[in-house]
Amino acid sequence: MGGEDAVGVYGDLFMDPAASKRLAKAMELGRGREVVLGVVEVNDVSRYARVVVESGRVKELVEKPAERGPGLANAGVYYVPGKYLELVEELELSPRGEYEFTDVIVNVIRRGEVVRVFNLGADEWMDVGVPWLVIEVNKLALAKWGGRSVRGEVEGTATVKGPVIVEEGARIRGGSYIEGPAYIGEDADIGPNSYIRPYSVIGRGCRIGFSVEVKESVVFEEAHAAHLAYIGDSVVGEHVNLGAGTILANLRFDERNVKVSIEGKRVDSGRRKLGAIIGGYVKTGVNVSIMPGVKIGSYAIIYPGVRVFRDVPSRATVEHDWL
């Protein structure tokens, strides 16, 4: 490697495009010859790489330090001049069994070279490292950029209230009620008599049909919930088909935070209300009930009337209650 300069952003991050202007300014200050690292204040720096900064320059970078607590973390945004990219070839497996790009930055610091920082604010950056944060990052985007723009068709008896974006080719059928902030993508078909609640994102070509309620959820492109369904605080993947009467429950009886299984561990989502995380191309039959915090793998099929209490693997076929 080597040659041309590179800008890198971790694939599971949200970064406000406006912050790129500060990145460009930091690059100019270094005259294009110095590494630039994005940093952000976090509540628990042990989940990230801790960054020690003096006078706007990185003094030390420690990947996933043992000590917990607030601190300045590597935001996963880099500008690296081409002359340093050759250091990628020197990377070795970390104690976690991974090749970590932060080691390139550490080696630049060890050479005595300058690594500049640019700061990201809490409303400019989010680490979308767990699936329910797809909901949170879309809430952030809607709060920052959501306005009122109706370019699709809204029938006379439908109500569009507040900052709602209805893209070209979308259709809002009669009796439907949409509360902003919300986003309705191109060629989406809503209603009749659907209820889209605040902070919902409906992707391109989705079908949200008769008496379907969507609450604070992200529904990816070409997903269908044609009738009598409830999608609460959920993430629904592309080309999913939810049969009539499918319920994505979002609240425990004891009203405690919903937990989700992540890599074999039960993780507190921090959300009192959280529904299902459903991968692409899943199909549910009529009257399926999916409990809070359950993950359904891509291409799974859930038979009619089934109650799902635990995660379903990809491509599984569930014929009976999944307890």
Q: Buried b / exposed e across 258-295, counting CB within 10 Å, b at 16+?
A: bbbeeeeeeeebebebbbbbbbbbbbbbeebbbbbbbb
Residue 119 sits at φ, ψ, to 5 deg, of: -90, 140
What span, in angstroms and rounded, lies between the C-alpha atoms of 148 and 278?
A: 29
> CB under 8 Å to 20, separation ≥6 — which residues?
none
Contact between residue 94 and residue 63 where contact means Cβ atoms under 8 Å apart: yes
Q: Which of 25, 67, 22, 28 is nearest to 40 (CA)?
A: 22
Q: Which of 234, 226, 240, 230 is nearest to 283 (CA)?
A: 240
Q: Which of 216, 195, 221 is nearest to 274 (CA)?
A: 216
What span, in angstroms and rounded, lies between the C-alpha atoms of 16 and 24?
A: 14
Q: Which of 224, 227, 239, 320 is an active site residue? A: 227
Q: Which amino acid appears at position 131 of this protein?
A: P
Per the annotation, the verdict on 227 as an active-site residue is yes
Q: How many CB atoms lie within 10 A of CB 84?
A: 22
Residues annotated catalytic, as ranges: 227
